[in-house]
Chain A
Amino acid sequence: MPTLYGTGIYELGYTGNMGPALDLQRVANQLRGDVLRMVHTAQAGHVAGPLSAGEIYSVLYFGGVVDLAQDKIVLSCGHYCPIMYAALARNGNFPRSELKTFMQAGSRLPGHPERGSLPEVEVSAGPLGQGVSVAVGMALALKIQYGQRSQKTTPRVYCVLSDGEIQEGQVWEAFNTAVRRQLDNLIFILDRNRIQIENYVAQVATYGEVAGRLEAFGLHVLEIEGNRTDKIMEAITQAKEVMGGPVMIVANTVGGKGVSFMENDPSWHDKVPSQDELTKALKELGEKNEQV
């Protein structure tokens, strides 16, 4: 039964199916381990954001709810790219050993995503907000090309963005277009980790209840615990049933999630862990203490 568009904000319930969810949690921590190894090897890169999105990337690439053969996954907050690269490698899109080339001259894994560096990198990103418009353009064009086909068979666009990112005005321009054009093949996932480079988001911008603000723009908002794969699975499943407009999944996450001394600390936005910190972090994640 499709959900009618614009029925409001609500917390998604627990489905009771913990089997695959447990596996996906494990995958999330594996991806986190890869992120930390990559950043440590490169001695550069971002940490807190990619870690907060561990479960989001686990579900997008391994949850079975996204049709990887035809759907598009757009990363708009480009500095999260280590976790995208890790997910692509673990999905078999390129050898995992290549992760160690992250940020090296000539690597296919540049410090911010560049469209075409790998076939699966859909957009160039880094300057925040841009990928949101590009995702809107893709969803719009797919709707044109698939014409009268039902919403269920039209390829979908998933766009990951962050809560620091929505300080960019372009994001809200893009929301206007997505809503006006009724892009129900477009699902945004907002990683609300509450930190940004300089500080806590709340110290920089007064969003209040961000979900209410997004809903006021006409987005169909689902607000969830964003570090639980079962909740993300359920939200995406639900979002795919929404017709008549785009869905915004507000995933409330913890910056630096999974590593106690990195959690909820803006200084870990882009800090490189020392060898000792890496060892300790991998242990907490249940990951082997090895380089990529």
Chain B
Amino acid sequence: MSKYSDKYLISEWRTAPKRAIRDGVGEALVKIGEDERVVVLSADLAGSTRVDKFAETFPDRFFELGVAEQNMAGVAAGVAFTGLIPFMASYAAFSPGRNWEQIRISIALSKANVKIIGSHGGVATGKNGPSHQGTEDIALTRVLPNMTVLTPADATQCQTMIEAAYKLVGPVYIRTARPETPNFTKKYDFEIGKIEKYREGRDVTICASGIPVWESLMVAEELAKEGVECEVLNISTIKPLDRETIIESARKTNKVITIEDHQIAGGMGSAIAELLGEEYPVPIKRMGITDKFGLSGEWEEVYKWFGLDRVSLKKAVVDYLHE
């Protein structure tokens, strides 16, 4: 039996065609837009967040609010209070980056049914540099009571997540990303709060989110040839964490490594460390951006710079296992 999940992965996942995670946004919104309660708000980034597809299909329910993210968060809350379901889109660096307090009070404290799409998550944003690379957005959103936090690993999963967020009543943050990366998962019935085990293994658990998930699978495959069996979990819901699946895996491998395109302080890795530290302490290593700002450059080069590429990841896992 394959160690790789055929429930979640397409058979040709290793050579999957590339699509940007953000591309899933437009298609999903067009689908759920059949519900007349769905409204989309943009802060002058409709094209690059991919909500422009909704704007073309449902122009009466699309509102370009201009470069004003703080106002957009408040407007979204007000729209939600009348019973509609607003999705608000910008770059993660600006929303929740710039409008965090509006999200905190007008949306989270108020339990507003607002869906926040933060595009251009992580240093994978590339050439526009640290000002446009959302590297703290997961930390900012997961500390907010009432907030659900989702990170898709590819375009297909992004689509499913937007649909799931639409069905959930309450504030949701969904982080997307800019570059074209392998679109390697199957469409399935995504359940918020339930993560996916992509590969079975006994030696180490790799908890990954976003773009690094596919790379983690490739690393696992290379290491398998060297006799190391990695378990790979896609931490698709960062809040609420799937305690059961994570602890069960840690219990089996007794070694956990986390990888994310985000500051290691406060991100997904921190969430895992908090959980395991309290409930099932095992050695844990967090990979990600280590208290630095991002860098302007081609995204693959930037990933190498920060040790998020396959070679660095593989070396880190091997070193960690030999510690």
Q: Which of A95-103, A172-180, A203-211 contacts B (4 or more CB under 8 A)?
A: A172-180
- Using known A-B contacts A137-B76, A137-B78, A174-B71, determine if residue A115 contacts B61 with beta carbons closer than 8 Å: no
B318 contacts which chain A residues (CB < 8 A)?
Answer: none
B102 close to A133 (CB less than 8 A): yes
User: Which DSSP category, helix, strand, loop or mixed, fits chain A's interface?
Assistant: helix
- Using known A-B contacts A123-B106, A137-B77, determine if residue A144 contacts B61 with beta carbons closer than 8 Å: yes
**Does A75 sit within 8 A of B, measured CB to CB?**
no
B110 close to A124 (CB less than 8 A): yes
Most A CB atoms within 10 A — which of B61, B82, B84, B101?
Answer: B82
Q: How far is the CA of A122 from the CA of B84 in the complex (A)?
A: 15
Knowing that A141-B79, A170-B102, A177-B71 are A-B contacts, what are 17 other residue pairs whose CB atoms are under 8 Å apart, sorted by A's residue number? A124-B106, A124-B109, A127-B101, A133-B74, A134-B74, A134-B106, A136-B71, A137-B75, A137-B76, A140-B75, A141-B39, A145-B82, A169-B70, A170-B70, A174-B74, A176-B66, A177-B65
B105 close to A137 (CB less than 8 A): no
Residue of A114, A142, A177 near B75 (CB, 8 A) is A177
A132 contacts which chain B residues (CB < 8 A)?
Answer: 74
B101 contacts which chain A residues (CB < 8 A)?
Answer: 127, 130
**Does B73 sit within 8 A of A, measured CB to CB?**
yes
**Does A126 sit within 8 A of B, measured CB to CB?**
yes
12 A-B residue pairs with Cβ-Cβ distance under 8 Å, sorted by A, are: A124-B109, A131-B74, A133-B74, A134-B75, A137-B86, A138-B79, A139-B78, A140-B63, A140-B75, A141-B79, A144-B60, A170-B102
A136 close to B109 (CB less than 8 A): no
A126 close to B105 (CB less than 8 A): yes
B110 close to A173 (CB less than 8 A): no
Number of cross-chain contacts by CB at 8 Å: 108
Q: How far is the CA of A179 from the CA of B66 in the complex (A)?
A: 13
Q: Which 3 A-B pairs have the closest CB atoms?
A: A137-B78, A133-B74, A173-B71
B-contacting residues, A263-284, CB 8 Å: none
Task: Give the shortest distance, in Å, between A117 (CB) and chain B (any CB).
Answer: 10
B81 contacts which chain A residues (CB < 8 A)?
Answer: 115, 122-123, 134, 137-138, 141
